[in-house]
Structure 1
Amino acid sequence: MNINSALAHIPRLRRYARALAGDAALADDLVQDTLERACQKWALWHPPAAATAEEAQKALLSWLLTVMHNLYANQWQQAARHRTVELDDAQDPSHDPMPKLALQLDLERALGLLSPQAREVLLLIGMEQFSYSEAAQMLGVPVGTVMSRLSRAREQLRRLMDGERPASAVLRAVK
């Protein structure tokens, strides 16, 4: 298997990056950074022993998503040091000709308000359909942590979609 086999995963990488970053330009940059890192570190990736072609492709996707996760986490931590989050009080329109668009925008806004750890778990399991153990391996955390983060992320997402304002206190991750 060579580096060209990673090209088949670009659409899934873009979809995950777009959902993770919330911005098309940032997502494209993240995909590009991920592919550049994969090219640089290609010698570190080895398909599972006696794996079929399909299993090798799934393992490659998992590795690429892990690389993307690590890059995003590093970028987010660097950016978090230099930004403040301000919430704007947007008024609800009196007439909405496209209610599904509003729901999609609300979901996108709510996903953006989740912590990166919660958003990553929710997207890997909910959107990308990875198992708990696969997501745990990609994120480098125990399965129980994935389950806990997913439960909290779903609850927080439900509250945000119901119109609850996000908590103003910022919690820091403790290693």
Structure 2
Amino acid sequence: MIALLPRLRAFARSLTRAQDRADDLVQITCEKALRNIGGYTPGTRLDAWMFRILRNAWIDQHRARRETADIADLEDSPALIGTDGRRVTEDRLHLAEVRRAMDSLPEDQRIVLMLVCVEGMRYREVAEALDIPEGTVMSRLSRGRLALAEALAAGKGRAIRKGETR
């Protein structure tokens, strides 16, 4: 379970769009998993089971709050000595652009994209974690990838029209 924490945290961040709430969600997930360890079937994928718990906990929180999500700030990370400051800045801007584009996607597409593209889970594993058919995973992934590409292309077009360079 400890080895899964970074992956759970990344997934939680994609759902909550805020690091502090993501950390709280991971803690809730671990507590629920430990409390209900009897629900885990030995020999099956622990990560899929944990992702399902995390997603369900997030849904419970989301329903209870009914609040709008904040746009996530970039994490503060110290600049390394000897790095190209321009390149670091461009990378951070691009990351922020990707995060905004991901945030603009419908929740079902964003979740599938995170699990497949970021977490590297197989379609079958995502289907099990989300309790949906494999075909639905593939459809959401396809639509999500297209929408993400379109959002990023539209953002690049706006930057060029404003006279900015990338």
- TM norm structure 1: 0.72
Q: CA deviation at 1:82?
A: 4.2
Are 2:114 and 1:128 aligned? Answer: no
Q: How many residues align?
A: 140
Decide which of 35, 43, 49 is 1:63's aligned counterpart: 49
Whichever structure has more helix as a proportion of its residues is: 2
Selected match of 2:14 from 19, 22, 27: 19
1:116 to 107, 111, 116: 107
1:14-163 matches, within 5 Å, as 14-48=9-43, 59-79=45-65, 81-83=66-68, 97=86, 98-163=89-154
Per the TM alignment, residue 77 of structure 1 is displaced from its structure 2 partner at its CA by 3.6
Contact kept? 2:18, 2:70, Cα under 8 Å = no
SS across alignment from 1:47 = coil
- Once the two structures are superposed, what CA deviation does each residue of 1:87-121 show, in whole Å capped at 9, x if it has no partner? xxxxxxxxx94222111000011111112211110
Q: Which amino acid aligns with 2:33?
A: A
Cα gap change, 1:77 to 1:156, in 2 (>3 Å): farther
Task: List runs of 5+ in structure 2 lacking aligned partners.
Answer: 72-84, 156-166
Report the Cα offset of residue 65 of structure 1: 0.9
Distance 1:109 1:83 in 2: 14
Instruction: Provide closer, same or farther for how the CA distance between residues 82 and 13 of structure 1 changes in structure 2, counting only shifts above 3 A.
Output: closer
Q: Which runs of 5+ in 1 are unaligned?
A: 1-5, 49-55, 87-95, 165-175
Match of 2:78 in 1: none
Query: Which amino acid in the other structure matches residue 41 of structure 1?
Result: N
Residue 85 (structure 1) shift: 8.7
Q: CA RMSD in A?
A: 2.2
Structure 1 residues 14-40: Cα deviation after superposition (integer angstroms, max 9, x where no partner): 122223322111110110110111122
Tell me: CA distance 1:73–1:28, structure 2 relative to 1, closer, same or farther (3 Å).
same
Question: Distance in 2 between the 1:117 and 1:139 partners?
Answer: 10
- Identity percentage over the alignment? 34
Structure 2 equivalent of residue 51 of structure 1: none
Q: TM-score normalised to the size of structure 2?
A: 0.76
Is the contact between residue 20 and residue 123 of structure 1 (CA under 8 Å) also seen in structure 2?
no
User: CA separation in 2, counterparts of 1:84 and 1:63?
Assistant: 26
Q: Is the 8 A contact 1:66 1:139 kept in 2?
A: yes
Contact 1:73–1:116 (8 Å) recurs in 2: no
